[in-house]
Amino acid sequence: MTIDTLITIGYYVSSIGFLIATIVTFEAARKASQSGLKTVLNYLFIGTATFFVITVFQKMVAAGVYSISDESPDIWWHIMFYLAMFSFYFGFKALARLGSADTDATAVSASSGKTWGIITAVLLVLIFIVPNMADGLIQSYNASKLAELGAHHFLAFALAGVVGAYLFSAKLFLGQVGKAIANPMIIAIWALAAQHFWELLVESWKVIEVTGEVGEGVEKIFLTIAAVCITFAALRLKSLAKAA
């Protein structure tokens, strides 16, 4: 089995994992009767769905849908990654408030999740529409010193690290639902942080010299770990949401 085949398998495993997690999280949010918990689940659904959308975008790029430079797709999917991380952060923060308020439904605003969902949806639609029109702008960034230093990788790494650290520190204040998903979500988010740190080392800073195929293969390992852990957390959420 060639490394290209393994990379392809890794892509589909992670994509299917994110799709399953998206469906399960959506069902959990739909069935949750408590408004505060529903808002938390909506944030987690938005973040998880965004990761699946990233895989769809990558597939469209590979199919030649966009006439853009080879480096541009990397920037666009990183922007989507930032949206996913903010979604998870908002969800974990709401979960901590819910836990510290002893499941008081008024502790979490129901409208905030809907507003963020609309903002994310609009931005994702724009990202799918504008790549051809904005390719000159993206190429200008790619030719800059910031891109050479790997600013987009570093921002993704920092965001994931901060979100994972926040969830780790907030574990003590989480209620039953939060404690049930904390560990798999911490592993998932720090696996994503490790993926972007790997990109920094290999693609930007060139501290580690490997072939493009090997670099891509290691990234797929981190993505698969994240997808499996998020799916596991989503399944726990679904079972707990039924009882909520």
Q: What is the pLDDT of residue 205?
A: 95
The answer to whether 82 touches 154, Cβ cutoff 8 Å, is no
CB 69 within 8 A of CB 135: yes
Buried (b) or exposed (e) across 174-199, using 16+ Cβ within 10 A? bbebbebbbebbbbbbbbbbbbbbbb
Q: Alpha-carbon distance 93 to 95, whole Å?
A: 5
The answer on pLDDT for 148 being more than 60 is yes
Q: CA neighbours within 13 Å on the CB side: how many for 42?
A: 23
Instruction: Give residues with Cβ within 8 angstroms of 202, minimum separation 6.
Output: 208, 209, 210, 215, 218
Instruction: Find the DSSP H helices in 143-175.
Output: 145-149, 151-170
Q: pTM to 2 decimals?
A: 0.94
* Stretch among 76-90, 100-114, 133-147, 195-209 having the lowest mean pLDDT: 100-114
Per-residue CA distances from 139 to 2, 61, 70, 90, 131 (Å):
32, 16, 10, 32, 11
Give the pLDDT band (50/70/90) at residue 176. confident
pLDDT over 70 for what percent of the chain? 93
Q: Can you give the pLDDT at residue 177?
A: 75
Q: From residue 22, give the alpha-carbon distance in Å to each of 43, 140, 146, 206, 212.
A: 11, 35, 33, 35, 30
Report whether pLDDT(103) > 60: no
- For residue 185, give Cα distances in angstroms to 156, 159, 192: 17, 14, 11
pLDDT band of 237, cuts 50, 70, 90: confident
Distance between CA 17 and CA 2 in Å, rounded?
23
Which residue shows structure tokens 């790549």? 131
**Confidence category of residue 107, pLDDT binned at 50, 70, 90:** low
Checking if the pLDDT of 182 tops 70, the result is yes
How much is the pLDDT for 152? Answer: 97
pLDDT for residue 238: 79
- Specify which of 35-39, 96-100, 197-201 reaches the highest per-range mean pLDDT: 197-201
Mean pLDDT for the chain?
90
The answer to whether 96 touches 174, Cβ cutoff 8 Å, is yes
Mean pLDDT of 106-114: 72
Residue 106 pLDDT: 54
Q: Over the stretch 24-51, which tens digit does the pLDDT of each residue have?
A: 999 988 887 777 888 888 999 999 999 9
Residue 67, number of CB atoms within 10 A of its CB: 8
- φ and ψ of 123, to 5 deg: -65, -40
- Residue 133, pLDDT score: 96
User: DSSP letter string over 109-143?
Assistant: -HHHHHHHHHHHHHHHHHHHHSTTTTHHHHHHHHT
